[in-house]
Amino acid sequence: MKILVTGGCGFIGSWVVRQALHAGHSVANLDALTYAANQDNLLDIAGNNKYEFIHGDICDGEVVGELFTRIQPDAVIHLAAESHVDKSIESASAFIKTNVLGTQVLLDAATEYRTCMVGKRYDNFRFLHVSTDEVYGDLGPDDPAFTETTPYAPSSPYAASKASSDHLVRAWHRTHGLPVLITNCSNNYGPNQFPEKLIPLVILRALAGEEIPIYGTGENVRDWLYVGDHADAILKVLDDGQIGETYNIGGEEERTNINLVRCICAVLDKLRPRENGQYADLIGFITDRPGHDRRYAMNIDKIRADLGWSPAADLQAGLEKTINWYLDNPAWCQKILDRTEATRRQGLNLNSGTK
């Protein structure tokens, strides 16, 4: 297939692009290269003649429409999104624009494009929308895991924007007949993840000898999914999923945040011991964030039974693989940190200039 991937320079997107190419597909990657995107994530496939990068914004209808016409995709995998909960609490506008309006632009373009297709290409076209478990809200300690029919109850502006985009995708399927698929995933981790996320943040703070911040008491529970497994699941759903259906994708690895952080510290103690003390000594507790969901858990019986997919990586092995990657790639990490600091300083300068 020729696949249009949105957000392919991001963490999950870059893994999807790479694994789609390895599966023999052609990939066009549309990415706006906002702060969390990184073209270095795809340096290993930059010369692949089945890969094309397009710098553009999914909110730009003209760019998106022209791209569909030019590349003639057989499928879309829509990953482009603003995804950091803390940032959505600080300011929700970018999340509404990209996650809601950007999805609407893509749906409109895909619907118009498909009307020009004929025969098997018309019948086989697919629009796969990648979403999150956060649309379901949160669970109590003894509640059953989220299923595909769990009512939506998003807590954060980020989760609400993703819930909105899920509803749009279903509406375009029912109203316009667009052949859609939706996946809702649990927390991802693995190599190349942007350092604002919990696992890389802990790794890099620990290596720098800085405080490792934990919200509240650290008892919030998350299900952890290795990013390579997630990419495999997405491609499996694209190939074999039933049109109009939703599939939960999870790692079946629930951990409290404090337990996860201590696991990371223990692996670091083994791989790169500190001169004075242990990495867990750096853990500090900070004020909880507003609306912090207590627990996420994913029931993945549907994708396992219908498509034969299950996660391959257990958390301990996945953490060791991930931590080793960060230890082996300090230049990648430093480049990201330098860019982040430069962006922060630029923002401070702009703010001071307007006072």
How far is it, in rounded angstroms, from Cα 192 to Cα 161? 25
* Residue 46 backbone phi and psi in degrees, to 5: -60, -30
* Residue 280 backbone phi and psi in degrees, to 5: -60, -20
How far is it, in rounded angstroms, from Cα 173 to Cα 72? 20
Burial of 76 from C-beta contacts in 10 A (0-12 / 13-18 / 19+): buried
Closest by alpha carbon to 162, among 192, 129, 189?
129
How far is it, in rounded angstroms, from Cα 64 to Cα 11? 22
How far is it, in rounded angstroms, from Cα 227 to Cα 2? 22
134 assigned to active site: yes
Other Cβ atoms within 10 Å of 332 Cβ, number: 17
158 assigned to active site: yes
- From the list 133, 148, 229, 253, the catalytic residue is 133
- From the list 51, 113, 136, 158, the catalytic residue is 158
- From the list 134, 138, 148, 254, the catalytic residue is 134
- Give residues with Cβ within 8 angstroms of 162, minimum separation 6: 81, 99, 131, 132, 134, 135, 154
How far is it, in rounded angstroms, from Cα 274 to Cα 73? 51
Q: Is the dihedral of CA 261, 85, 215, 257 positive or negative?
A: negative
- Name the percent of the chain in helix, strand, coil, to the closest 5: 50, 15, 35
- Give residues with Cβ within 8 angstroms of 349, minimum separation 6: none
133 assigned to active site: yes
As annotated, the active-site residues are 133-134, 158
